[in-house]
Every structure is written in structure tokens, then in C-alpha cells.
Structure 1
């Protein structure tokens, strides 16, 4: 039975009569109990298409210019009144957005926000609202649901917040659920949990699911049908198997070729630069970072979060060490502590003196001052070093712009005049201005589309070869890490639990946590996967004052592969 039929949908933004069409004649069909994936890069029109189905596009300056959106073949959502749409939203049509923290009210308790849905949609009140909210959280596998109702959003992890958003979407018992990039900001294991949960809820309720994503490889495990969008048009559609195995459009083939395919270590870079006696350019020994909790002015802290505990590794010139782990594991804190952006409380770092280590952050939009042109941006490290921006500095700017494949006239342009990938190239060029030995890349490609991501990874590999750079590459994306890393360190609850050659760690993981990470990696080869719903959380690293970590024991698993030995329970 066809649940949703979209024909010749056209959507524009701008003044009436002068709109710019961003969705141009899109056709979609969705049956009850079916999952339709809409994939495409930023600006392709996929999210605008989704927002048009429930008419949320009306609130963001857009309007439907033509076409029809038929629910059950009768109700045309494109022309329905606002009163009718208010009855449909949250009831017949549910929505899950990308970032739960922007969808939840930060000052209201979780129970209040979920309870509002049951009160308005079901007419419940008093104790019945709370009991319904508890059942909703239990349904999405949130432990200790009654206590969670009394917490605020900031007290929960990203994965738990996204499960709460799913609970709120299902509270209205929708027959159509639209999930707009619901896993983009999540780690690979949490991502697998969300996919598993959506698949389970779909089986239970028989609803239709529209899944919006820029990652064509992500949806292979859950999609029945796929629509590929480019430039506001649907350029290809069909069953998931047909689109993935027999792509007909050049753009679909381009997307599939750009996706970093995880191959279990088979495509990992071989470490030819590390040899017996190679001198380390960066050495980290027993690094620790702790944050006090519950203290204050003239009051002793009640405890400490041991964000990083006893982390040790080294880097040699020309080598990339990938650091992987879930949010809260300590991987980004480790990277920041090396640059003293977070003050270490234990251990030492050798080789980070002066400007020998530079950092490239995740979001280029937040890293670049929009009021400064590229010349001023690249001048910042020079001025910070106490030097003048002279002819030598300008020559280095031009050389680096050429290296990162940007035109020479870029020096006089501003960040908004560049694409996301180009802005990240500017950030890389700025980091290279002081001629560092080590680059720390903290999720430096995770905000980019897959094709742009592939180009930036290739650029980093070329720069490493040209300058002999060492990279510390922090990421939650195992396929990306496999593509760039020579060695991998897996961090869990603030400690390294496995470290060694990338090929060995990825093909023969020994620690249970490493195996869990790898098992959760999505792949185009994994079709119609029944993801296991694992709701285990990373254990708390909050310890009482005076607590000391037990010494860590290791065992060797090959010439360059060590695994932490977990104490007996």
C-alpha cells in the first residue's frame, strides 16, 4: 500500500515571483513498512525535500511552487491548510533532526518535553503522562527511565539524546517518519544503535521511513529503495541493490567511488617510515588529564573526571597515528592536551615545543574569522611568532596555497567566498605556515561531504610526503582512519586499550571494545543488516578524590600490535 506519493515537487526560496528553485521536479514513492533513503551532498536539495513533506519549509523562508505530496493518495500536503498540517505533524508524520541539542529545550526536563506530547496528542494528564513517558523511554532502551525523566538534556550523552528524540517522534504514533541526518554527529557504535532502533520500531509499527543522509554507504544496511539527488533533482532512483550494484548515473557512481570503503585493514597504509631506531618527532608518556567536580571557591573538589589516564605513544616523521573511540573516550582531550589547550595533570609531552605542533579543527566555519581575508588568516601564525609579514612570509603563503590547490587570488578573498572543502584547505595551509613537524587533526574531515572528504584526505597524504609531516589523526570514522593511518590507537574510557599497525589492528582486533567498534562500521557490502541494539554506555570516568588508576598490563600480538589486558572480574 502506497503511503506517500510525491510528484513534480518544486520548492523555491526568495521573494514571491522571484524565487530560486532549489528542488526541481522531484518524484518519490513510499510504501507502508518501507525505508526510502534520499542521499546527496550538501546543497543537493534532500533536506529541503524532506522539510517540504511536512511543510516545515514554510517556516524557513521557502515555499512549494508546484507539484503534489499525497498522503494515502488523498490528502495533498502541498496545499493543505496550516491547521490541517498542525494536526498531521507529530501525529501522522514524525520528524527526527540531526542535532538533538538544538531540538530539545535545554532548560526543561526530559519528562516535561515528552509529557507535553502525550498531553496534547493523547489527552493524558497527571500520573498517566509520567507513566506514558517512562514507557516511551523504555521502548527505546533507555536504562533507568524514571530517573532520566527528571534530568535536563545536558546531563545525557549524544546517543541517549537521539534515542529520546526517537521516543518523542514515536509518542505520536506516526505512520510516516522522516529522519534527517539523524546519525551524522554520532560515533560509529551509537550510529549502529540508532539504525537498529529505527529498524526495530519500523518492524513493530509498520510505518514508512524516509532516511536523509549525505553518506550513501550508511544506508546500505537498512534501505529498501534509494533516491540520489544532485542540484535539486532526483538523478537516480531504484531498489537499494540496483543503485548500489548497477548505478546508472555518473553522479551516483561518483558518490559510490568517493565513499571510504572499510575493508578490515586490507587497504590500510603500510608503515614504511618506522624502523628500528627511528627518532620520534613527538613522544607522549603517561599523559593524564583530570577535571574537578563539585568544588568551588575555597571548597575541595568532591571528585575528578579522569578524562585521560596513562596515555603513551610516539610519532616518527612521515607517520600517521589514528586515534579512534567514542565520544567521551578521551581522544579529543588527548589531542588538545598535547598542544596545552587543555592543561595536563600528569605525564609529559616531548617534541611539542614552540610551534612544532599545529592543529586543524573539525569545523572550518568556526575556525576562520569571517571578517579576515585569507592573507590576514595566514598571517596570524607569523605574527604570533613575533615575525613580520615580509616577502618571505608572502612567498610561503603562495607556495602553501598552491600545495592545497587554491588559486593565488585566494589571498584577497574571505571565507564565505569558498566552499566547505576549500575552507578546510585554508585551515590546513594556516597550520602549515609555522613549518610544523606535527599536525593534529581533530575530526578534520567529518563535517565534509564524502567526495570533498576524499579530496582532503588525498591532499593530506600528498602534504605528508612533501613535507615529511607526522599526523595525529583523531576520528570516529573507522573507514576514514583506515584510509590515512599507518598506526591506530584505540581509546576507551580515557585509556589506550589497543595500539599498533593499522593493518593488524583492523584485520585482527583483540580487545573487545575494538571488535565492537569494527563490527558497527557500515558498509555498502552489508545489505539489509539486522543491527544488534546494544545500549551499553561508555563507563563513567568520575572518580573520588585520591583515586589512583591501577597499572595497565599489556600483551604483544605481533611485531607492532599491543593489547591491554583487562583485570579479571
Structure 2
């Protein structure tokens, strides 16, 4: 039974069409993947299905969008669309920070869905919200309900959005890059949730992504889009094994394949003083009980973390969202105050950071010239001729034209904006770059170019990289060593080749098994019913000493208790 039928859809902004004659069908219980790079029109197509494009300045210029073969959403009135959104057609957006209300607690926003969609009230709403967060594998679900969005990691926020979409129990679910910000284990759980929903209710799923590895595991059919047009469509097996269009072949060739350590760079043998030393680092956050109420305890976000980082070396840090890897990175930068431990990095200007989202990292009203000058001014320097010369030199290094200095961020693509962020981080001549999911928001082909750039800069300047990522294929490509973080602690560390090819800790093995690939077709994702580990402890609690076991030169892992 055809649930949705899109025929000859045309969408435009102003006088320009950006989607041209797009057609596809989605059956009940079917998963259709729409793939393509930024600007291909896939998200505009998705936003048009439930007419959200109307609020973004866009307009459907032609074609039809039939729900159940009878209701044409193109012609539907706003009142009818409001009844359909969330109930019949659910949507998971790519950017959770722009989709959630920043001033309302998470529990309030999830609870609204259960109150309006299911008629619940009072305690029943809160219990349903807790169950919704448990389903998407968020630890300490009840405590998280009382937090605001800014108190959570990007991966957790994405899971909140997924929980809210699933709470509405829609018949058609549109998921726009729903797993981009998630690590492989959580991604597998989300895909398992979606598969369970389809089995139980026959929900149709439109899955928009640039990750072909994920598509291989979940999609029944694939639509490939380029420049607002469908250039190829067919069954998943046919598209991946026998791509006909040149653009499809380009997308497939750019996928960073995970080869279990075979593609990892050789270990860095740099001698001498480390660029960064972290000893017994701990970061803790007290959880208040409210006015005149006893404290609920302390969140041990990072515990017992120790490592060195040599000049010219890349340490890849991997783990689930909420595992503490970003908190650890921020502690190294001084953005989070450590509760205990020592961090030695050679001064304030020695460390700079490249964040995940280049759009949020750059001030849209500030020209690139001013953006590059900011770290120099903050460090007490002057914007003189030498400073301008360094700007121009770094722009050439990151393959941007010199006239970029007098342009604004919106005049660049996502990959170019991230190159600007890299150039800005290099302005004060740091020894260490902390890269927090620095390429996860980029298309695969752009991602490959930025990774090449980072490796070239590392060789030229002897930079040390602390590379935080959830993408095992990317980590394998750039990291000399890997540290695996679970529930705030490093559980395994060693040369990338050894850790990826011969993982010793059960959690590392779990990460490896969850990595998607083009070879994994029609994966039967299974829900993990194990309890999600909590880092909330009673006040005064101290973790036990870490018991390490050695497994080859430089490769060690935490021994399991008992």
C-alpha cells in the first residue's frame, strides 16, 4: 500500500527553482533513503512534504504530494496541515539546537507531546517522558528531564529530538540526518528503534543522509539527488553494487571505509617533551536538589583520565555521546574547570579548538578578516602588517582565496567555513589543536578534503591533535593512537592499528561491531536492553583505582572487576 506519493515536485525560493520535478513513492513499512551532498535539495524536498518549507521562504511551484492516495498536501489548508504534522507525519530535524526551545526544560517539551497527542496529564506525562528517553538510551533519564537543552551534548539533544518524534507515533516519519551527530553504538540503537516502530505500526520512513554506510544497512530503496534533481533511483543493492550515474559513483568512492586498523597511520615516534600531559584528570558537576532540599549527588563526567600527546601526533578520542569526551577536551582548553588532576600544555596560547559546527563558530555579522584577528587580539597582540600577512598565509594554506578576508561567513560553503575556523585556530601559532567532531557535519567528499588539509598542516607545523570523533572510519584515517572513553573513563588506549584490529575491552568491541559499512545489508538491528551506565554518584563517592592490563607495546585496557 502506497503511503506517500510525490510526483513532479518543484520548489523554489524567490524566482529560483531549487527542486526540479522530483518523484518517488513510499509504502507503509518501507524505508526510502534520499542521499546527496549539501545543496542537492534533499532537505528542501523533505521540508516540502509537510509544507514546512512555507515558513522558510520557499514555495511549492508544481507537482503533487499525495498522502494515502487521496489528500494532496500541496493543496491542503494550514488548519488541515496542523492536524497532520506530528500525528500523521513526524519529522526529526538535523539541528536539534534550533529545533528545541532553549528556555524550556526538556521534560516540558517532551511532555507537551504526550499531553496533546495522547491526552495524558500530571504524573503520567512525566513517566511517559522518562520511558521515551530510556528508549533512546539516555542515562539518568529522570534527571535529564529537568535540564535545559544547553546542558546536554549535541548527541543527547539529537536523541531528545528522536524521542519526541517517536512519541507522536506518526504513520510517516521523515528523518533528516538523524544520526549524523551520534556515535556508532547509539546510532545502531536509534536504527533499531526505527526498525521496531516499522515492524509494530507499519510506519513509512524517509531517511535523508549522506552516510552511504547507514543506507546500506536500513534502506529498501534509494533516491540519489544532485542539484535539486533525482539522478538515480532503485533498490539499495542495485544503487550500491551497480551505480549507473557518475555522481552516485562519486558519493560511493568518498565514503571513509572502516578497515579495522588497516588504514591507520603508523604510530608517531616523536621523542622529547610531550606537547600535552594530562594526569589523573577529573571533572565533576554537583546536582542540586532545589531550594531547601538535599543535593542529589555529583555527576562524575570525567574520572581518572591520564595521557600524553607528542608533537606531530594525533590522539583519537572515541566514545558515546555523553561519555565525557567533549568535557575532557574542554577541560584541556580551560573552558571547564577540572575538579582534580593536572594539565600541562605550555601556556594559554598553546591550545586552540575547532568546533563541530562552523556555522555556530563564526559570527555572521563579522567579516573573515575580523574573525581571524580575534584570537590575536584576545592574546594581547596587534593587527599589524605581520598579522595580516599571517592571515593571508593561512588562507593559502587552507586553500581559500585572499579576497575571503573581506567576505562574510554566509558567502562560503560549509566546508569552506570549517577551513576558515581552522585558519582562525592557527592564528596564535598553537602547538595543539583540539578538534571536537570537526568534520562530522561535512559531506563525505568535503570531509575527505578537510582531513587531507589537517594532515598536511600537521606535517608542516608539527601540530599535535586531540581528535574527538564518533566516526570510526575518520578516526582510523587520521589517528596515530586511540583512547576509548566509556562513562567518563578511558577503558582502552594504544596504537590505532592495535586497538582497531584487536580490541580488548568489551566496550571497544561493541563499538567496532556497530560500525556501518557498505557490506552490511539489511542489518537486523537489535535493541540493547542493558541498563545505560550512569555517572551520577552520591556526594563524597570516589572511584576505585584503575587496574590496567597490558596487551602489546603501548596498548592497554581496563581490567573488568571480578
TM over 0.5: yes
The answer to whether the 8 A contact 1:158-1:186 is kept is no
Task: Indicate the residue corresponding to 1:179 in structure 2.
Answer: 175
Shift of residue 11 of structure 1? 0.9
| 2:503 corresponds to 1:509 | yes
Q: Which deviates more, 68-77 or 559-568?
A: 68-77
| 2:543 corresponds to 1:544 | no
> 201, 204, 208: which one pairs with 1:208?
204
Between the aligned partners of 1:145 and 1:376, the Cα distance in structure 2 is 42
Shift of residue 187 of structure 1? 2.5
TM-score (norm 1): 0.89
Q: Which deviates more, 196-205 or 136-145?
A: 136-145
Task: Indicate the residue corresponding to 1:349 in structure 2.
Answer: 343
Number of residue pairs matched by the alignment: 554
The answer to whether the 8 A contact 2:371-2:424 is kept is yes
Q: Secondary structure at the match of 1:424?
A: helix
CA RMSD of aligned residues (A): 3.1
- Inter-CA distance 505–85: structure 2 relative to 1 (3 Å threshold): same
Q: Which runs of 5+ in 1 are unaligned?
A: 120-124
Task: Indicate the residue corresponding to 2:388 in structure 1.
Answer: 394
Task: Indicate the residue corresponding to 2:425 in structure 1.
Answer: 431
Shift of residue 482 of structure 1? 1.0
Between the aligned partners of 1:238 and 1:132, the Cα distance in structure 2 is 43
> 394, 403, 412: which one pairs with 1:409?
403
Task: Indicate the residue corresponding to 1:4 in structure 2.
Answer: 4
- Inter-CA distance 162–534: structure 2 relative to 1 (3 Å threshold): farther
**Could you list the per-position Cα deviations for residues 434-462 of structure 1 after superposition, in whole angstroms to 9, with x for gaps in the alignment?**
22221111111112222211111110011
**Could you list the per-position Cα deviations for residues 498-541 of structure 1 after superposition, in whole angstroms to 9, with x for gaps in the alignment?**
00011111111111111122222221221110112125464222
The answer to whether the 8 A contact 2:273-2:310 is kept is yes
The answer to whether the 8 A contact 1:360-1:427 is kept is yes
Taking the TM superposition and a 5 Å limit, the aligned residue runs for 1:221-300 are: 221-271=217-267, 273-274=268-269, 277-294=271-288
Between the aligned partners of 1:293 and 1:165, the Cα distance in structure 2 is 25
Between the aligned partners of 2:9 and 2:163, the Cα distance in structure 1 is 32
- Inter-CA distance 465–538: structure 2 relative to 1 (3 Å threshold): farther
Q: Which runs of 5+ in 2 are unaligned?
A: none
- Inter-CA distance 114–99: structure 2 relative to 1 (3 Å threshold): farther
- Inter-CA distance 231–440: structure 2 relative to 1 (3 Å threshold): same
Q: Secondary structure at the match of 1:262?
A: coil
Q: Secondary structure at the match of 1:317?
A: coil
Between the aligned partners of 2:199 and 2:291, the Cα distance in structure 1 is 54
> 547, 552, 559: which one pairs with 1:558?
552
The answer to whether the 8 A contact 1:115-1:133 is kept is no
Between the aligned partners of 1:311 and 1:158, the Cα distance in structure 2 is 25
Between the aligned partners of 1:29 and 1:389, the Cα distance in structure 2 is 57
Between the aligned partners of 2:427 and 2:245, the Cα distance in structure 1 is 41
> 496, 520, 524: which one pairs with 1:526?
520
Shift of residue 131 of structure 1? 11
Shift of residue 295 of structure 1? 8.1
Shift of residue 373 of structure 1? 2.2
**Could you list the per-position Cα deviations for residues 140-177 of structure 1 after superposition, in whole angstroms to 9, with x for gaps in the alignment?**
5779999799867759844652452243231x5x2x32
- Inter-CA distance 128–333: structure 2 relative to 1 (3 Å threshold): closer
Shift of residue 328 of structure 1? 1.8
| 2:41 corresponds to 1:48 | no
Taking the TM superposition and a 5 Å limit, the aligned residue runs for 1:127-146 are: 137=132, 140=135
**Could you list the per-position Cα deviations for residues 541-565 of structure 1 after superposition, in whole angstroms to 9, with x for gaps in the alignment?**
2223322221101011111210011
Task: Indicate the residue corresponding to 1:122 in structure 2.
Answer: none
Q: Secondary structure at the match of 1:489?
A: strand
The answer to whether the 8 A contact 1:280-1:316 is kept is yes
Between the aligned partners of 2:28 and 2:127, the Cα distance in structure 1 is 26
- Inter-CA distance 141–461: structure 2 relative to 1 (3 Å threshold): closer
Q: Which deviates more, 432-441 or 146-155?
A: 146-155
Taking the TM superposition and a 5 Å limit, the aligned residue runs for 1:333-482 are: 333-482=327-476
Between the aligned partners of 1:46 and 1:73, the Cα distance in structure 2 is 22
Between the aligned partners of 1:363 and 1:232, the Cα distance in structure 2 is 24
The answer to whether the 8 A contact 1:265-1:506 is kept is yes
Task: Indicate the residue corresponding to 1:165 in structure 2.
Answer: 164
Q: Secondary structure at the match of 1:375?
A: helix
Between the aligned partners of 1:181 and 1:286, the Cα distance in structure 2 is 37
Q: Secondary structure at the match of 2:200?
A: helix
- Inter-CA distance 280–132: structure 2 relative to 1 (3 Å threshold): closer
Q: Secondary structure at the match of 2:212?
A: coil
> 490, 493, 505: which one pairs with 1:496?
490
Shift of residue 296 of structure 1? 9.3
> 189, 193, 196: which one pairs with 2:192?
196
Between the aligned partners of 2:12 and 2:162, the Cα distance in structure 1 is 33
Task: Indicate the residue corresponding to 1:29 in structure 2.
Answer: 25
Q: Which deviates more, 316-325 or 279-288?
A: 279-288
**Could you list the per-position Cα deviations for residues 365-409 of structure 1 after superposition, in whole angstroms to 9, with x for gaps in the alignment?**
222233332222222233333333333322222221111101122
- Inter-CA distance 295–229: structure 2 relative to 1 (3 Å threshold): same
Between the aligned partners of 2:146 and 2:378, the Cα distance in structure 1 is 44
Task: Indicate the residue corresponding to 2:60 in structure 1.
Answer: 64
- Inter-CA distance 128–84: structure 2 relative to 1 (3 Å threshold): farther
Q: Which deviates more, 418-427 or 77-86?
A: 77-86
Task: Indicate the residue corresponding to 1:13 in structure 2.
Answer: 13
Q: Secondary structure at the match of 2:168?
A: helix
